[in-house]
Amino acid sequence: MQEELSEFYNIFTETKKDIESFMAMLDPVINNAKDDHERLYYHHIYEEEEQRLSRLAELIPLLETFLAGQGGSFSPSNNIFNRLLQELNLEKFGLHNFVEHLDLALFQFKDAERQAKLTEMRGTNHTSYQFVKEKLARINEQFDTGYADPHAHHDEHGDHLNHHAHSTPVQPVQPKTKRSFTVGSLISK
């Protein structure tokens, strides 16, 4: 577990730098938007990454606490560990959404400089997303958290850019099981 946490730490400190680069790239685009629609579009993505940045400002110190051996046991009876798992599950989606923000930007920023930077960040963060997804699946299984991935049905179709045809009408998704820590499990602690 200590090894995974160390890798998570590297991943989230790296993606934090990439968010900052991406926000700096979006800033002039927002300022120079040709109309309200374009401005809202980029500003919206900017704000979502800003929200993620402020969540990472909590997750990273929490990872540091565990890496320093001060987080307590890796056990569902430890509320700080529960908090860590909950935040990691959330930031897995943060990475996923970031990759898609980068993909959307790749469709629009066609100059060589931004294409190169976006492609590089896209590669790194996609790898990070896959890593976090796989490790968390194992950790959630190990601790029997009952976590159900609301994206699993998308991932079955492979990479989202190539195969996300909805061949049949999609029903709004209801999680099959409770996500992670139920109220009951918290009450019993």
* Least Cβ distance, residue 54 to its own copies (angstroms): 4
* 61 versus 113: smaller Cβ distance to its own copies: 61
Count residues contacting its own copies (CB under 8 A)? Answer: 64
User: Residue 110 is encoded by which pair of tokens?
Assistant: 């066609």
User: Residue 12 is encoded by which pair of tokens?
Assistant: 């989230």
* Least Cβ distance, residue 4 to its own copies (angstroms): 19
Residue 63 · residue 4 · CB < 8 Å: no
| Residue in 1, 13, 90, 115 binding its own copies, rule: CB under 8 A | 90
* 11 versus 63: smaller Cβ distance to its own copies: 63
Under rule CB under 8 A, residue 178 binds its own copies: yes
Nearest-angstrom CA–CA distance, 72 and 75 = 8
Under rule CB under 8 A, residue 109 binds its own copies: no
Which DSSP symbol is given to 74?
A: S
Residue 93 · residue 187 · CB < 8 Å: no
Place of tokens 């685009």: 29
Residue 48 · residue 77 · CB < 8 Å: no
Under rule CB under 8 A, residue 139 binds its own copies: no
Under rule CB under 8 A, residue 110 binds its own copies: no
Q: How many CB atoms lie within 10 A of CB 153?
A: 10
The residues near 146 (Cβ < 8 Å, ≥ 6 apart) are 177, 178, 179, 180, 182
Footprint of its own copies (CB under 8 A): 19-20, 23-24, 27-28, 30-31, 36-37, 39-41, 43-44, 47-48, 50-51, 53-55, 57-58, 61-62, 65, 70-72, 79-80, 83, 90, 93, 96-97, 100-101, 103-104, 107, 148, 150-151, 154, 160-161, 164-166, 169-170, 172-175, 178-179, 181, 183, 186-187, 189
